[in-house]
């Protein structure tokens, strides 16, 4: 019997992406401290956070469920000049992030982690995104839409924020929050298939 899949995320985007490729799953959101550690590089941080989400969700399972469940977790950060940009706390932070991204290329780092009772595997996917030049009016209007409030780097490529993206070199689904190709391949190693 194939294992059950538990997605350790409250993100409607991640569950929609899994559903899009026919992967049945349950959802268990976990709350962890996402603050960077001292001198931690963004790529290290995003992998650590995905692993921590996966292990936290796995440890909440009953002993019986641990034997038949695989947990998938993901985390996404924006890297600009070796600094990670998380979610903005307010309009001021949103505008500061969008100003920094305006007219520049940045990297979107999305880590995935899959764990079972015996194995944990992680992977980090790097996608380059080129932003258009933004005006202050565009940034304020975008903040007022409500979309940037819970998005890494203050934008959602699949939403209104997509109008600011000039080009993507890599996985668009990773920018949204879950790299479909890599996730499907990793889940297959754990016996989880559509």
Give the model's pLDDT for residue 150. 87
For the chain, give every domain's residue range: 4-189
pLDDT digits (tens, 9 = 90+) for 25-54: 999 999 999 888 988 999 999 999 999 999
Give the model's pLDDT for residue 86. 85
Helix, coil or strand: residue 182: helix
Helix, coil or strand: residue 99: helix
Give 27's strand partners. Answer: 7
Question: Which positions are catalytic?
Answer: 75
**Distance between CA 15 and CA 7 in Å, rounded?**
8
Let me know if domain 4-189 sits in CATH 3.20.20.80: no
Model pTM score: 0.93
pLDDT digits (tens, 9 = 90+) for 60-103: 999 999 999 999 999 999 999 999 998 899 999 999 999 999 99
Q: How big is the CA angle at 8 (ends 4 and 10), to the nearest 5 degrees?
A: 125
Question: Residue 183: which of 70, 82, 61 has the closest Cα?
Answer: 70
**Distance between CA 2 and CA 5 in Å, rounded?**
9
Give the model's pLDDT for residue 146. 96
């Amino acid at each position: 019997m194939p294992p059950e899949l538990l997605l350790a995320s409250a993100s409607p985007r991640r569950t929609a992406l899994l559903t899009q490729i026919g992967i049945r799953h349950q959802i268990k959101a976990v709350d962890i401290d996402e603050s960077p550690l001292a001198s931690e590089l963004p790529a290290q941080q995003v992998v650590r956070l995905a692993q921590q989400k996966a292990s936290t969700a796995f440890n909440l399972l009953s002993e019986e469920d641990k034997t038949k469940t695989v947990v998938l977790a993901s985390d996404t950060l924006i890297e600009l000049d070796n600094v990670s940009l998380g979610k903005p706390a307010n309009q001021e932070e949103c505008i500061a992030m969008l100003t920094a991204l305006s007219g520049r290329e940045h990297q979107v780092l999305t880590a995935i982690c899959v764990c079972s009772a015996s194995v944990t595997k992680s992977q980090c996917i790097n996608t380059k995104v080129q932003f258009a030049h933004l005006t202050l009016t565009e940034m304020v209007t975008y903040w007022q839409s409500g979309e940037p409030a819970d998005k890494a780097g203050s934008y959602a490529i699949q939403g209104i924020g997509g109008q600011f993206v000039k080009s993507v070199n890599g996985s668009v689904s990773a920018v949204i929050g879950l790299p479909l190709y890599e996730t499907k391949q990793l889940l297959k190693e754990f016996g989880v298939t559509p």
